[in-house]
Amino acid sequence: MSQSVLQIRNALFKSSLQRAAPAVFPVPIKKFDIKPGEKWVIWGAERSKFMDAIGNKYLSVPSLSLQYGMKKNAIARIEFVKFTGVMPTAHISARYEYFKDDFDQTCGKFIQDNSIGSMSVNYEVTHTSRKIDPQLYSFLLSELHLKELENRWAMGLSNGQMRRARLARSLLKEPDLALIDDPFLGLDPTATKIISDFLGRYSRSPIVIGLRYHDKIPPWCTHVCCVNDEGIVFQGNVDSVRDLIKSTRERFELVNARTNLETKYKIEDLLSYHPLAQVPHHEVVKLPDGIQFHGISVSYKGEPILKELNWKVAQKTKWHIRGNNGTGKSTLLSLVTADHPQSWNSRIVENGSPRKTGSTDYFTINRRIGMSSPELHAIFNKSQSAKLSVKESLATGFNENSSNDFLACYGHLSPHQRQILDVYADYFGLKDVAEEKYGNLSVSNQKLVLFVRSLLKMPQVLILDEAFSAMEEDSVKLCHQFLDYWPGIVLVVSHVPAETPRCDHYLRLISPGHYEIGNVTFG
Ligand SMILES: Nc1ncnc2c1ncn2[C@@H]1O[C@H](COP(=O)(O)OP(=O)(O)OP(=O)(O)O)[C@@H](O)[C@H]1O
């Protein structure tokens, strides 16, 4: 055992001690070993479940069938890094509330993570006795490009920056095993390369990563283990399983090419509820632009993020908002949704009317906006809403005030709204799980529910910020196909081409004052 990081021999994994508790995989996992120096990728439909199993989240039967290679009687220190949500905030706008600066913690403190007590206090609280290796700390900051963010307020970090900070926080604990699921989710190509190269070089803790079928296996990976709901399908040295990876991927793509879900509705039926669906093109072009930005600038503490941005979004157009992590995409969207303090600015013009304090309010603005984003997913999952049924979760999409209003409201829906909900649930294959608890769904289906939820109030502006990341390919295809016909404005943020619906135009944020606007072409 001393030669192993981890060893499994005939382990049946159970989620509870109860005799009748079902096994996580139907049959015992016969043999699985991780040796020092190996770099494993856990791949396939049930990779997250398997990572939970090797991370000791379940009971292994018999008890010694799962062992870790540390000193006798020592408890394995395992770190999980999952990127299915972002840092929990009370509300997305909290990120932009400047007074929070005084209370929250800096990125550096977040990474050191050794205070006990509230996450939201900065004054000196009780500390754990955990010793932090200052050399490792500076090494991680420099390798993960976090140095310049060290004194930034953690809640203000962009998604990509936060992901790097969370990785540093876990590795700084010097775990016996670090399990990182979907490490590249939501990262731009530059950040993906930074993280991938770093993970390939890092040797202080054994690292195992989880990837989806369509993800490229990184060049530094030494071993792959493919897992489905039956257990391990194949495993071994990456060169010995290359053909199996190829054939499994091809089979997966073939199976998921199926888009003929059994539904009695057609896309036209779904679109007929949207006010712009029946308006002929020659009438639409006469309507004022949905959104106009006239020379918009935003800076944080004097540091510019957006500078003199001019942008016009005509009705019924679809935009891909591009730009590396940290270039201001979320900031731009928060101006549209009025979550940003600088949203009350007459240089922002909506449907021909300049936005000014007094002329409109947050709720009126958000009445015409539907949204799905990683923040919204995280808040939904953290709140009581995760206990709602799928049907009730979808119904919260009719709450007009804001996309973040998750109050249960199914009982108050009009017959017309219930009909819309039923038609959409049927079309997107959610009818059979309508009574299921949202919290019991896979991450992929949760994202699907949040996507459908964002459509229900027939918004004029639909914001899809990483809405399809962590969604399985078949659902992504179904949603993208539908969006081709959606008659409202769509603003998409996505770093991965397979997760990007077809758009007409793009806005690429490069650096403050530098941006590019163009038409999306298809090759
Ligand atoms: N409240 C804040 N205080 C200070 N800096 C902030 C705040 N909010 C955002 N920032 C900084 O502004 C920059 C732009 O952040 P934003 O989240 O808009 O980027 P992004 O393009 O959406 O990134 P990602 O692709 O990683 O989501 C980042 O450097 C971020 O750290």
**Residue 411 burial (CB count, 10 A):** 7
Query: 400, 457 in Cβ contact below 8 A?
Result: yes
CB atoms closer than 10 angstroms to residue 237 = 12
Query: Which one is the CATH code of 267-519: 3.40.50.1580, 3.40.50.300, 2.40.160.10, 3.40.430.10?
Result: 3.40.50.300
3-state secondary structure of 314: coil
- The CATH 3.40.50.300 domain(s) of the chain lie at 6-256, 267-519
Q: How many residues does the chain have?
A: 523
Kindly calculate the radius of gyration of the chain based on its CA atoms and give it in whole angstroms. 24
- Is the ipTM higher than 0.85? The answer is yes
* Residue 109: exposure state from Cβ atoms within 10 A (0-12, 13-18, ≥19): middle
Looking at the DSSP bridge assignments, the partners of residue 210 are 42, 181
Pairing relationship of beta strands 177-181 and 207-211 according to DSSP bridges:
parallel
Quickly list H helices, 276-389: 281-284, 329-336, 362-367, 374-382
**Distance, CA 69 to ligand 1 centroid (Å)?**
41
Per-residue pLDDT of the chain (523 residues; tens, 9 = 90+): 557 899 999 999 998 877 778 899 999 999 999 999 999 999 987 888 999 999 999 999 898 899 988 655 567 889 988 765 444 444 455 555 544 444 467 889 889 876 544 443 344 444 556 688 999 999 999 999 999 999 888 877 887 888 899 999 999 999 999 999 888 876 777 888 889 999 999 999 999 999 987 778 999 999 999 998 899 999 999 999 999 999 988 876 665 554 456 788 999 999 999 999 988 888 888 899 999 999 999 998 788 999 999 999 999 999 999 999 889 999 999 999 998 988 888 899 999 999 876 778 888 899 999 999 988 888 888 787 778 999 999 999 999 887 888 888 999 999 999 999 999 999 999 988 899 888 877 778 889 999 999 999 999 999 999 999 878 888 899 999 999 999 999 999 998 888 999 999 999 999 999 999 999 986 4
Report percent pLDDT > 90 for the chain: 54
pTM, full prediction: 0.74
| Torsion angle of C-alpha atoms 472, 478, 481, 487, degrees rounded to 10 | -110
Residues with CB under 6 Å of ligand 1 are 95-96, 152-153, 156-161, 300, 305, 323, 325-331
Residue nearest to atom 28 of ligand 1 (CA): 326
Torsion of CA 360, 364, 369, 370, to 10 degrees: 150
CATH 3.90.79.10 fits 6-256, yes or no: no
Nearest CA to ligand 1 atom 2: 156
Distance CA 329, CA 506 (A): 12
The residue whose CA is least distant from atom 27 of ligand 1 is 159
**β-strand partners of 66:** 8
**Ligand 1 atom with the shortest distance to the CA of 161:** 26
pLDDT tens-digit profile of 292-342?
999 999 998 788 999 999 999 999 999 999 999 889 999 999 999 998 988
Q: Which residue's CA lies nearest to atom 9 of ligand 1? A: 156
323 C-alpha to ligand 1 centroid (Å): 12
Ordered alpha helix ranges (H), 77-151: 107-112, 134-143
Ligand 1 atom closest to residue 188's alpha carbon, by position in its atom list: 25
Q: Extract long-range pairs of 243-250: CB within 8 Å, 24+ residues apart.
A: 245/43, 245/217, 248/44, 248/213, 249/213, 249/214
**pLDDT per residue as tens digits for the range 93-141:** 555 554 444 446 788 988 987 654 444 334 444 455 668 899 999 999 9
Which residue from 438, 445, 464 is spatially nearest to 329, judged by alpha carbons? Answer: 464
The first and second tokens of residue 109, run together, are: 């403190």
